[in-house]
Every structure is written in structure tokens, then in C-alpha cells.
Copies of this chain bind each other. A is one copy, B any other.
Amino acid sequence: MSPIRVGIIGLGNVGGGALRLLHGNASQIERKLGCPLEVSAVCSRHVHTAPSEAVALHPAAFRTSDWREVVSHPDVDVVAELVGGTGVAREILEAALGLGKPVVTANKELLAEHGAELWGQARSRRASLGMEASVAGGIPVLTALREGIAGDGIDALIGILNGTSNYILTEIERTGAAFDDVLREAQELGYAEADPSADIDGFDARSKLAILAGLAFGVQASPAQIPVEGIRRIRTIDFAYAGRLGHTIRLLATARRGGDGLRLAVRPALIEKNTILAGVTGSYNALWVHGQGGDTFYYGKGAGPDPTGVAVVSDLIAAARSVRTSGVQPVPPFAHMELRSYSPVDTGTEERQFYLRFRVQDRPGILASLAAILAKQGVSIEAVLQEPYTDKGDLPFVTTLEPTRRKSLEAALKAMRGLDFLVDEPLAMPLEPTLTAP
């Protein structure tokens, strides 16, 4: 059969990885697809002045620095948008879908904000929209949710979706180094950006959670509707205290369906050490899914040219198949034909045990006054932990709380503001129930 022809816009890490895989695995891909999958056009700003080695693997491809020439090219059947961001990327996808061409994208920000609209456009033009690379890089979690366990009714998701944060947290745990030092090291190693905010403040994980909520629950949650807390305030000492409690700390993206609706949140949390999730270290990603079919768990590399490239190429194979069925309604990328709007449920009403770490100027009566403030909100202290520490002017200690609603705790934290013995705002993290190794 005649080849299906792909145009790739954006030739950075992910685009380069995809080009290498399309070259190296060409014969295997042909055996899967029943025809060759060819790269017929490539586009980047520097494709003329500084074509990469990956581009050189596809000498017959038309080269341009104008994305419009790729989208409209008659020899391009499928368009891959790998430029990122929410500006030009959106124009590219809309232009391609407008021509009825299937698209593939790795763009989590764009999909989290405008995914439902893009699917609406794709659907009306009967063109497919591939997005496996947008969440958890090389782990096929979207395909699993959309197709593999499509028949399941999902109650809960817990994801470790940001490799940079997970690297930083697990390096602090492993080495006992300080947050700032580990962050600097991660930046030097290329694991963290010069501006690390998107990763360590939880925004990247939040976009991914918004996408997952679409597939798992059929809702269109915009990132702004999802409470987010990053990992900047976590200190080495927190791992020592968490360890004494048999726990460790991870940045978790959680979705839990309850009687009153769907709770979404991205927050650092304590999880038990003897769990599969706690075994996810370094820059790996993972997703735990709980449904009627029991627990399933997915693990792998969340980023990098090859893992993300695999996701892009896998989507290109599916998109190429859809070229053969043009005119037929494509499989909905968010698993549901239409997404419902999301009504956020107050995460403050969920009961959890909490870890509450204070830094104080040591003097008598501190615990009594903190306990009194907590008691006034109906919050009971379960235990008090204090590691040996020498600096009486900045003494950390931890209390664990009996199960309480976050809003009660937050009211107590508000009442603590301005207490003169507090060196810093208290750090509260939930003890999050997760998949226990059976």
C-alpha cells in the first residue's frame, strides 16, 4: 500500500527522538501499519541553518521554517505539533484540523486549557487527535485509560507526574542534601529548567491531572480549578520525620470520586514506605488507578527524547490508520465523546490525617498554645515528634493530627499567623492512602 506521510513541526528533543525512531523502526512500523510511514516534511526555525542529525535521517523530507507550509503541504497526511506553548501550537493544530488532517501533539498546557475545544474541532472534521505524549511521556497511560480499561468505572487516580519534582524529593531523601542544593544540581544535570517553577510549584503536574480527569471521569477541568501546592517548602528534616512515621514524601496528583463529586488536587503528601508508589524514585513517573477491576499501576520514564518520542510515534501510527478511515468518527482522545464541565468539590471537606511541621524559637508553653488553637477548630493532635536539634532559635518539630477536614486545619493555621515564636509558617501535608503492596 502507498505510504502515509507525516509532517513534523518542532525539532527539539521530542521531535528529534521521534525522527530517530521513525527511521530506526521503519520496517517494524510498516509491519504494524501495513504500509510505510514516511516523514515528508519537517519544520523548525533553524532547519535550514542548522539541521540536526535526526533531520538528516530523512533526506527526502521537505524542509521549511514556516509551519504553514507543512500543514498545507499536499504530501502531508498527518501533522505532528511539537513546538509547545499555547500560541503558535494552537494555530498549527487548528489549521491542520481545519484541513481535516489528523494531528498528534505532546502539548500538555494546550490540551489542559483547550483540549475539549480541539477535540470538538477534530470531531467535526472527523480527524483524529493524538496526545499520548502529553502525560507521563513514555508510559501509555492515556491509551490504557481510553482503551485498555475503557470498560472500568474509575474511583481514584494517584499520579507521580512530574519527574523533576520526584527527582528532587528522592535525592533529598537519598542524600540528605538541602532543597536548594539538589535543585541546583538538577539544573546542572538538565533535569530542571533555569526557571523551575512549572515543575516544582506543581503547575506541570496540574495540567497533566486536568487531562487525566478528562479521560478517567469525562470532565473538562481547567487547571485553574485544581488546587496546587509545590515542593519548595519541603526540607531535609521532613524526610527524617516522615521516615519515623514509616512514610516518605512525594508530589502527588490525585483524583478521587466521592458521593459529592470529584476532588482533584496536586500536593506534596506523605505516603507509606512499603507501597509501590513509594518505590517510584528519580525522574520516573507513575500512575495508580483504582476502579472496579481492582488496582492497576503504570510506571516508566516521564520525559526524555526517546520515551516521549515513542509516545509520539505510537500516536502517529494510530493517526496513520485513521487516514485510511477518514470520514469515520475517530476514537475520542479524552475517552468520552463529550466532556462535561467540572464542578470543583471543596477539597477542604475531605478527612485526612495530617503531618504538621513547625519551626519555632524554643521556649516553654509553645505546644500548649498550638494545641489550644488546633483544639478550638476541633483538631486533635495524635503524636508529637521531635528529633535532636541544636538551634534553639529555629527548632523544628512535628505533630501528626487525628483525621480532620483540611478546612478545620486551615482555620487553625490562619489563627497561628503572627504567633511570635513561629520562625516560619507551619507546613501541613496529608497522609495520603495509596496502593499498598499486597
Asked whether B310 lies within 8 Å of A293 as measured between CB atoms, the reply is yes
Asked whether B147 lies within 8 Å of A296 as measured between CB atoms, the reply is no
Asked whether A150 lies within 8 Å of B306 as measured between CB atoms, the reply is no
Asked whether A151 lies within 8 Å of B312 as measured between CB atoms, the reply is yes
Asked whether B21 lies within 8 Å of A292 as measured between CB atoms, the reply is yes
In the assembled complex, the Cα of A387 lies from the Cα of B152 at a distance in Å of 48
Partner of A310, one of B25, B151, B300, B324: B151
Asked whether A292 lies within 8 Å of B24 as measured between CB atoms, the reply is yes
Which residue, of A21, A139, A296, has the highest number of chain B Cβ atoms within 10 A?
Answer: A296
Q: Tell me whether chain A's interface is mostly helix, strand or loop, or mixed.
A: mixed
- Residues on B with C-beta less than 8 A from A314 are 147-152
Let me know if A438 is at the binding interface, CB within 8 A.
yes
Asked whether B300 lies within 8 Å of A296 as measured between CB atoms, the reply is yes
Copies in the complex: 2
Q: Identify the closest chain B residue to A137 (Cβ).
A: B293
Asked whether A296 lies within 8 Å of B329 as measured between CB atoms, the reply is no
Asked whether A321 lies within 8 Å of B317 as measured between CB atoms, the reply is no
Proximity string of chain A (309-350) to chain B, C-beta cutoff 8 Å, 1 when within and 0 when not: 111111111100100110011011001111000000000000
Asked whether B318 lies within 8 Å of A292 as measured between CB atoms, the reply is no
In the assembled complex, the Cα of A310 lies from the Cα of B292 at a distance in Å of 8
Q: Identify the closest chain B residue to A281 (Cβ).
A: B438
> 10 smallest A-B Cβ distances: which pairs?
A140-B148, A151-B313, A293-B310, A143-B148, A296-B300, A138-B293, A297-B299, A282-B438, A151-B314, A294-B301
Q: Could you write out 24 A-B pairs with CB less than 8 Å apart? A: A21-B152, A24-B292, A25-B153, A29-B151, A31-B337, A31-B338, A32-B150, A32-B332, A137-B293, A140-B144, A140-B148, A140-B149, A143-B148, A148-B148, A148-B311, A149-B310, A149-B311, A152-B313, A292-B306, A293-B301, A293-B307, A294-B304, A294-B306, A298-B298
Beyond A147-B314, A152-B314, A296-B301, 13 extra complex contacts between A and B, CB < 8 Å: A21-B292, A28-B218, A31-B218, A32-B335, A33-B337, A138-B296, A140-B149, A144-B148, A150-B314, A151-B312, A282-B438, A284-B438, A293-B301
